[in-house]
Each structure stands twice: as C-alpha cells, then as structure tokens.
Structure 1
Amino acid sequence: MLRTVAVPLLDPTASFELGVLCEVFGIDRTEQGVPAFDYRVCGEHPGRPVRTTSGYAVVADHGFDVLADADLIALPASTNHADHPPQLLEALRAAFDRGAWVMSVCSGAFVLGAAGLLDGRRCTTHWRLTDELAAAYPQAVVEPDVLYVEDGRVLTSAGTAAGIDAALHLVRRELGSGVAATIARRMVVPPQRDGGQRQYVETPVPRCDADTLQPVLAWAVERLHEDLGVERLAREAVLSQRTFARRFRAETGTTPHSWVTGQRVLLARRLLEDTDLSVDEVARRSGLGTAAMLRHHFAAVVGTTPVGYRRTFRQTA
C-alpha cells in the first residue's frame, strides 16, 4: 500500500517538478476521502538550503535516512545529470530490492540510471533529453514518445506536467481510480491524458540543404492536396523516377512518400490548431483524403487522434 512518500532534493532541484510531487502526495485531503500520505522531503544535508532552478532555495527537514522505509521514492528533475550522492543511489537500490516504488519526473530519470535501475527496463524522460539518457545508460530502453512508463516498480515520466500523469497513474494503480479522480479534480487536471510526447514536440518544416531538390520540395509543399506520387515529383525535377528517388533519399534521408506524408500531417496539425474545419475537410485539404486516413497517419506520426490533438492545441481565433 502506498503510504510513505519520500522526495530527495537534488542540487539544483527543479521547482515545478518538486511542486508536482508536493501537490499529489504532500497535501492533506483526508476530508475528501483521500488516504493520508506520510510525505517526507529529504536531502543529503538536512536543514541546509538546496538551490532550485528557479532562483531560490528550499530546505529539507529530513536526511536520506528516511528513504529506508519509504513506499515510494520520487525524484524531481534537476539539471545535474551525473553527480549524485552515493547514499541516495544506494537507498534507491535498497528500496527497489525490498519492493518499494521508485519514480522520476523528467530528468530525475538520470538518477535512476546512475543507480542501475534502468538497465534492461523501458523508461522515458523529457523528449529533449531522451538521446542523452540513452547515450548515458545504453542498457536502458528509452521510449521518447510516451508520457510515462511503468516497468516493474520503476516509474519514469516525461517532462514537467507529465509528472502529474505518472503520479496519478501510480495513485490509481495503488489506491484506486476514485482516489486518483478526487486528487485530479482538486488539481483541476484530467485524471488521465491521451497520447504521448510526440504531440508536444515542435516539428519544423524539413528543409533540404542541397539546392538540387529544394525548389521541388517548396513546390510540393504548396500542393499537398494534390497527387504527389514519385512520377509527378520526378517530372517536376526533370529526372527519371529512379534517379529522383535515389537523389531524394541522399539529400533528405527519407523516401518521397514518407516526406510527403510527414508534410501532410504537419499541415493537418496546423489546420487543427488554427481553424474550425471538420476532420474530413482537414483530411481533404492536407491531401490525406479521408478522415480514416488522417487518423491512421496522425496516430503513426503524432501519437494521438486528430480530435484529441485539437482539444489540446486548438488556438483561439
């Protein structure tokens, strides 16, 4: 049962991610039927201020000794990805061995990696850090497209607000959906979000540095609603289909079909964000044809549905 929650402060600690853990586990909501958590903020040097990434300091009342009987050790993010107190790493390994949960928010995953708890496990972190995490801990299976990953009793989340999703997931798993929904209502957040990190990644318009195909790419972007098969693209480039396909891959790193599909999904994202067009009309204007085809390609590229994406990112006209 999830009762004792310990949060080690890293130097420096990311204040928002620390606040997420405080909000979910550190507030007394017993009057609403939420079980009370024994919430402990701890540090290597209790009573000594610890810097935050937001320009102020916080103080932990407890030392790392309180990690010894915690049901959950939850690590907030930090810009320190390599230099971690040995006592903390040992406490994490001991907690996992005795059956406790260990959890990270955003870059807190680097501490779990340093403790050896990501080896052979699926995990995640902020999408900007997934390559760094994979390089630092090559035995970890880093998944860049998810909001959180549970593997055994190791729970890792993506950036910032994804820590809320992971924490509520753990509450739901250990204490039931009713408790998780009560906490979510108080926080004014959905109990469970759809999709993954891909929908939050900024996707620039791909460019081709070589000048041989750049005019053709620019021409194609203006005609995404039309038939843009290899035959037509090659004709516009005044090349044979075989030569065009070979040069296209050499200059863009992908196939003409994949590039066009990616551009069409990118246009669909913008239409969903900026207009009130129906999903069918978005599919037509972006060149994906039908709503079914739009949903298929959108899920493959973005990791969510067109309707779910619009609900999250719709801009005010």
Structure 2
Amino acid sequence: MHITSLGGGHGLFQTLVAARLSEPDSITAVVTVADDGGSSGRLRREMDIIPPGDLRMALAALASDDADAHLWTRTLQHRFGGTGALAGHAVGNILIAGLAEVLGSEQAALDKVGELTRSHGRVLPVCNQPLEIEAEVAGLDEDPRVIRPVRGQVAVATTPGTVRRVRLIPEHPEPSPLAVEAIRNATLVTLGPGSWFSSVIPHLLVPGVVDALNETDALRVVVLNLSAEPGETQGFSSERHIHMLSQHAPLLRVDRVLVDSEAIPTSAERAYLVRAAAALGAEAVFEDLGTVDADGRRLNIHDPVKLSRAFTSLYTGSRD
C-alpha cells in the first residue's frame, strides 16, 4: 500500500498519523501552500517563500517515535514566547526557511528535516510557489444577494459571510511534478479532512492535480469533516461539502466518500449523501471515526486509530 494524502493543517496531521498506523509501504503528504497567517504568513511575506507551517505539521505527524526524533519533533512544533521579533514563530518554520536558503530549495529543506526526524514518509508542497485564496462571499452586506471578494486564507477561514466559491491567485500555478507523480503512483489517495475552502479544495484548483486523481489506479477516498467549521463552512451540511467539490472540479472522480456515521444518524440524511457521492462516481461509506474522550464525550476530531482501520478496510476491499 502506497498512500498519498492531500490536505493541510490539523486535518492532514490526523490523516498522516492514521496512515502511519496502517503500516503502508510508503506515505507521501501533498500539502497546501496558501497559508498567510501567523508565523507562516510573516515568513512568507518577509522571505518570499512558500508558507512552511502546514509542511512543518506534516513532518511532525510523520516523525519517528524514538527519543531523538521525538526531541526534533517537539523542537519543530515549539513556538517562541515573549514580545520580540521571534515571538509566535514556530522553530520548525524558521528551520525550514533557513535550510531552504542554505540548500537552495524548499523541497531539499523538507527532505533534510525528514532525515532529522527519521520520517515515515515524504512531505511535498502541491506547488513550489506561494498561493493566495480569494473567495466570493455572500452575506457581508444588508442585501444577502450581494457577493463580495475576500482575499487571504485567514480572511476566508474567519469570514462571517457564506463562501460561495474560491479561486487561486495566480489562477494557473505550476504544480509540483513530485506531487503529481506521487498521486499517479499511489495505491490509496486521500483528500481531506480539513478546512474545506482553504486546505482541501485549493488542491483541486492546481492544474494537473484533478487529471492525476482521475488517471491514477489508486483507490481515491474523500474524508469528510466531522462537522461544519465556524467561519468558512458555517451551516454547511455534509452533502453540501461534497457539492462544493463538484462545483470547483466538475471533472473530478473519486471512489469512496468516508463519512462519520455518528455525525449522520438519520437514513434521510444518509440518502442525500449517497446521491451526492454518486455524482462524483463514488460510494458513500459510513464508519465511526470520531474521537471520544475519557468522559465519553465525542470531540470534533478524527480518531487516527479508527481512521486507519477504515483506510485499511477500504483498501483491502478494493483489492478483493
């Protein structure tokens, strides 16, 4: 099993931890590069580099569990305190930026950090240039029919309006050849979960990615979020999340849409999801995927063990 996972942020982190638990032959993370907030945004603006934060998170998820690698992972994730110029910066972001200057490329920097952490896989940016997200947003005026542009990942993720559509700036960025190759050579490809308009859909807007997804022999799995996110998908049903994929990438075809069964308890809601998945050529699969804390409360985060079990089951079933 060769897993390639597309996404960004905490959603991709959980997916990569789940992928590790599945013990595949290889794991490749293909990561969004549109972040413009926090430490990543500052480094992006000051150094004109792809934002390193989501890439750093993916490296942390794939790091080995031995003591040395664990120390490196803690260091990558550590943020400087205080009020000076370094305040709020993640050490890993600065390390990636510095290595990129020394080694001459950001991919070389990511691979070197992967060596330090004895990574279980490889981390690739979907593009080798920073991207911007611009959204068409309704509900920012008294007249709800008025559509306003909102630019920037942070602004889109926190908008009080309703996102209708997003686009990339530049509109036709050059995809990373390594990322396209990783999709084509995989036997299991995952898309999501994560911030739908700022971490998931942007992959589908990069030229060549949808073609690679449609042409790969891999089992293609969309992992839906456990719930709508405050801001960009506030009030969205699970069905609408799928429709957004079709709207932004009409030619996209996938094989399975993996849904948390506890989030969609009624047969009527499941029927809507089944029809929406069929429009992508996919079968909707319902599994218990959520994390439950020690007090029995369900948290809004995927359980890597349950997600790994679902990946393995889907993959094995597709090969029978």
Asked if these proteins are the same fold (TM beyond 0.5), I'd say: no
Query: TM tier, shorter chain?
Result: 0.3 to 0.5
Higher-strand-fraction structure: 2
Larger radius of gyration between Structure 1 and Structure 2 = 1
TM-score (norm 1): 0.35
Q: Which has the higher contact order (CA 8 A, sep 6+)?
A: 2
More helix by share: 1
